[in-house]
Structure 1
Amino acid sequence: MNRVDAPGPQPALTHPTWQAGSPTVTVVVASIDASDTITASLTRFLEEVGMQGELILVDASGDGTADQAKALFPGLRILRRPPGTLAPELWRDGLNASETPLVAFSTAQMIPARGWLESLRGRLESTGAAAVGGPIDPASRLSPADRAVYLLRYVNYLRPLPKVEQVEPPGDNALYRRASLEGLEALWEAGFWEVEIHRRLRERGASLAMASDASVEFQGGGGLGLALRQRRDHARHYGAARGGRMTRAERLMRSVVAPLVPAILIRRITAALAKRGRGIGPWLTALPSLSLLLAAWSAGETTGTWLGPPARGRTVA
């Protein structure tokens, strides 16, 4: 498992004094067993937020991540949720707990580049978009399992970003206008699943954009076992969302082709690397773990298609 050291000693966090009297942005950071990366991640996100607003950590860890964050940053606002809660559910709770006109989402496995927040805000203002996302780069020393997670989850956000007709900001690196989300509250009741949110925003005529300079770096951590459970549960939600719009015959056909899903996804991953002028060679050590993750995804998607998403409870901080 990787360990990321924070750059220098960490001063105690105090409640910020807002510029112009009122906060304008909330950064919601979801953390799940992120004790190896939480210090470096929060240090940089807090530097980026500065006096523009606040950071909310929404934690569902079983490894003491929240306690570690509380000790290092005593003034930090922390919402605790049960282990097993997924990142979109953590983002939902952070969104509901915030009031600022702008809300950004990421995770404690990410470290933002300097100027990250200003790049997102600048792009949001220049485009008039409802949401703006940024690239997700892999850290230089990821384990094979973490590299597999990166390929499955983030390869589409590897720089250089290709030009595409339909932009899809990543859930782990995006900034939203709260006004654009008004009226969609019921849609994120089960979690802030960005693909569904983006689909509805487009239906309402809103635009989405990317800011090529607003990058975060994926640090890994958490282990393969956690990643397998998360991919299975994410896939079950995805399958449930799609299955709800299918006829029984369509669901049967989807189940029949489910064994082909890993091969299809590997082909997409290879194509995404090729678009960026990169081959699969440097990633070969990730393939065994990637195969397991793809199998977990396929099984979860099939289960969700027929049985719906896993039941989840809510815990109020």
Structure 2
Amino acid sequence: MIKQDPSQPDISVIVAIVDGGEALRTCLTALANQRGDYDVEVIVPFDQLSQEAAGMAEDFPDFRFLDLGVIAGNMVPQNALDLHRFWDIRRSEGIKVARGRLIGLVEDRGIPADNWIVSVIELQDQTGAAAVGGCADNGYDTIWNWAIHICDFGRYMAPVPTGEADFLSATNVCYLADTLHELRPLYENRFYEPSIHAALQAAGHKMVLSDHPRTTEYRPRIPTTTLALEWFHWGRKYARIRCGEISFGLRVFRAAVTPILPFVLFFRHLGNQRRKRIYLRKFWLASPLIFMIVSMWACGELVGYFQGEEPETL
């Protein structure tokens, strides 16, 4: 590939540490063994909660391990929302130092296929999109994991025809660096992809989703009560961020209709799987847990709308 700037990598890949440990090592190994002819820099931001990453630097000498020191005010995470803050900050700081023409994001529990980098580069070059995203496969064939995967990645499950999309996942996405850097005020403190993607679309940029770039999610099992609280806090986060983007009247309306939200979300997931057809049996087997998850999300949304905007989350 001919480069206008030989010092600029074709792509910078930011690895968000979510699980750490062996999950991180497996993800980095997958990135070290990618196929294709390109220049890449892999950036692994770590902090006080993920110091084990520093011990892997000798095993991956070509990767950049970015020591962020103490972040998030040295807070001790108490819930899923607190943990997500660390993931968002790691992504943000990695993006700020990235040198590539493109900037790709993955997380350590989502193992990229051996052609992931080639796939995102080719997809971006072919479409000219400001952002391209791929699909996530479920790595654990259990009812528990299918429930989580359908709720978290239902619309990113293959098959997905290549085409323009309104949404992409921060676990499998690639941006034109120059375009993303123009939005730096939005990720100065934390990277929240819905806000980034809304800004891209508002500026007239195209986003493309395809099932060519693939990752496989290996979500470790946690107690169901912990899972329920996790989705409650994620729903609360979503609502509090939305409070800063919508009118007070719409906020009241959305709070008022949250009792029907679990049914809306459940049938939305069902519709996704009926269109894909492949995983419909998995959906029905996991349906009780799926309904519990979307119900906890709805409860979180309701609380978030009452709490209102939280500037620190933006």
SS in 2 for 1:154: helix
| Identity level (%) | 22
Match for 1:242: what amino acid? R
Shift of 1:218: 1.0
Distance 1:168 1:93 in 2: 22
Q: Could you say which residue in structure 1 is the equivalent of 2:250?
A: 250
Q: Could you say which residue in structure 2 is the equivalent of 1:201?
A: 200
Shift of 1:217: 0.9
SS in 1 for 2:159: coil
Q: Could you say which residue in structure 1 is the equivalent of 2:240?
A: 240
Please tell me whether the aligned partners of residues 164 and 209 of structure 2 are also in contact (alpha carbons under 8 angstroms). Answer: no
Q: Could you say which residue in structure 2 is the equivalent of 1:15?
A: none
Match for 1:302: what amino acid? L
Distance 1:65 1:283 in 2: 36
Consecutive unaligned residues of structure 2, counting only runs of 5 or more, are none
Provide TM-score, normalisation by structure 2: 0.80
Structure (1/2) with the larger helix percentage: 2
Residues 1:170 and 2:175 aligned together = no
Please tell me whether the aligned partners of residues 137 and 215 of structure 1 are also in contact (alpha carbons under 8 angstroms). Answer: yes
Q: Residues 73, 183 of structure 1: CA spacing in aligned structure 2 closer, same or farther, 3 A cutoff? A: closer
Q: Could you say which residue in structure 2 is the equivalent of 1:7?
A: none
Shift of 1:149: 1.8
Please tell me whether the aligned partners of residues 56 and 79 of structure 1 are also in contact (alpha carbons under 8 angstroms). Answer: no
Q: Could you say which residue in structure 2 is the equivalent of 1:52?
A: 39
Please tell me whether the aligned partners of residues 146 and 282 of structure 2 are also in contact (alpha carbons under 8 angstroms). Answer: no
Match for 2:39: what amino acid? Q
User: Aligned ranges for residues 1-317 of structure 1 at < 5 Å?
Assistant: 20-48=6-34, 52-59=39-46, 66=53, 69-70=56-57, 72-73=59-60, 76-79=64-67, 81=71, 83=77, 84-86=82-84, 87-139=87-139, 141-162=140-161, 166-221=165-220, 223-224=222-223, 227-278=227-278, 280-308=280-308
Please tell me whether the aligned partners of residues 163 and 209 of structure 2 are also in contact (alpha carbons under 8 angstroms). Answer: no
Match for 2:43: what amino acid? I
SS in 2 for 1:252: helix
Match for 2:175: what amino acid? Y
Consecutive unaligned residues of structure 1, counting only runs of 5 or more, are 1-18
Distance 1:244 1:36 in 2: 38
Shift of 1:125: 1.0
SS in 2 for 1:134: strand
Shift of 1:131: 0.8
Please tell me whether the aligned partners of residues 148 and 290 of structure 1 are also in contact (alpha carbons under 8 angstroms). Answer: yes
Runs of 4+ residues deviating >6 angstroms: none
Distance 2:244 2:52 in 1: 36
